[in-house]
Amino acid sequence: MQFIKSIEQQMIQWRRQFHKNPELGFMEYRTTAYIYRHLKKLQFKTFIGQEVMSDSARYGLPAKATLRHYEKTVLKQGEIESAIFCEIKDGFTGVIGQIKSKHSGPHSAFRFDIDALPITETTEKSHHPYKNNYTSTNKGVMHACGHDGHIAIGLALATYISKRINQLTGTFTLIFQPAEEGGRGAHAIVENGWLDGVDYFYSGHIGLNDLDVGTVALAANGFLASTKIDVLFKGEASHAGISPEKGKNSLLAAANAVMNLYAISRHSEGISRINVGKMIGGTGRNVIAPSSKLEIETRGETERINRYLTERALAILEGSAKMYDVSLKKEVVGQTNVVNCHPELIEKLFNHIQTDDYIKNVLKITDVSGSEDVSFMMNRVHNHGGKATYMIFGANIKHGHHHPSFDFNERVLTIALDVYIQALGIFNKRR
């Protein structure tokens, strides 16, 4: 309790620092460098670059030109040492820190996501970050999902473990994951073997439902399997007035696909979702559109339902391309799986997590209906005989996640830290 009180203001400062300097997935260069330096100071064995992620297992990397432009901007600002930058350039962001006690014990791992969203933050006077001068300085990018808070919680937990390592047992792995948004980053970390041999795995999220500050749900159920697909229809331009018959209209193919994607029958076995979130096409009003892009996602309550939606979607895309005699390029740029929290771990946590000055109410389980690529990590832990859970920390969020006015009550930072510290006390405390 004393430690939590002593680090509370530092956690708020960290959260605001990262909120002010948000970075998109696989472009979290400054964020990665800061976390790396902090973990190094705490005597963690620290890993970055291709030690963290398998190159071939990354989903949905930004375009090379986008990466290069942002890398130049970051280097110009002079905030990253060249030795660190050389390891993490080309989108190899994220950090893993590991520390071992001299006393044998279980291997506990924690995951914290670090990426922001392509959202322009509000400048309304009532917005707390605006009033307190920590709105985003990265135009069009915002921490609108609470990952700035997750980083702060992770840094504080790392500090606690480092200071108390002689009172703890076992191995501790802290995973600061890039590119959670869109389900892109976790799979590549799993493929590098970081979750193999983990006995207890914890992750969690600020908000996601209507829980009050002080309320903690020790498990979240209802995560949906999801597939994210980028689509490019390539046709042929021609003059829309003089020779329309010489063109091949990619925009018509895309529009036909959109209408028919939404016509896919929903599945009787559970929740099924499909969404086209973005459609871009054409070059001008008097030109037959030579190229058009779609960004699509499917979601299903089971892997089977999601597979059904994905297969139907791909068939519709192929059919639309054929109908309008255009070419089709499609790429899976993100993926998540269905996952359930381990019942034995939930029960153990529920029997031991105590209410106190920070935690006011403890629930076993709450329901969510989003998707999370932490599912790859949790399923790998379960498949290797470990136990994993994903918690929800109530935060009284007025505006929803992914909203330009998103914010949360910063008291949740200490509450989440308290829960994680108490979890360590169950399994990794020296008796």
- Cα separation, 154 vs 413, in Å, equals 10
What single letter denotes the amino acid at residue 119?
Answer: I
The verdict on whether residue 147 carries a ligand-binding annotation is yes
> Is 181 among the annotated ligand-binding positions?
yes
Helix (H, G, I), strand (E, B) or coil at 298: strand
The token pair at 3 is 């430690």
Residue 270 CB contacts under 8 Å (≥ 6 apart), including other chains: 300, 301, 302, 305
User: Which tokens is 10 given?
Assistant: 């530092």
How far is residue 85 from each of residues 91, 94, 114, 254, 318, measured CA to CA in Å?
A: 10, 12, 17, 40, 41
205 is in an annotated binding site: yes
Tell me if 402 is assigned to a ligand binding site. yes
C-alpha distance from residue 244 to each of 240, 248, 323 (Å): 5, 8, 16
Non-local CB neighbours of 379 within 8 Å, separated by 6+ positions: 337, 339
Q: How far apart are CA 199 and CA 388, in angstroms?
A: 8
Residue 83: alpha-carbon gap to chain centroid: 26
For every residue of 313-377, DSSP letters joined together read HHHHHHHHHHHTT-EEEEEEEEEE------HHHHHHHHHHPPP-SS--EEES-EE--S--THHHH
Binding positions for Mn(2+) are 145, 147, 181, 205, 402
Binding positions are 145, 147, 181, 205, 402
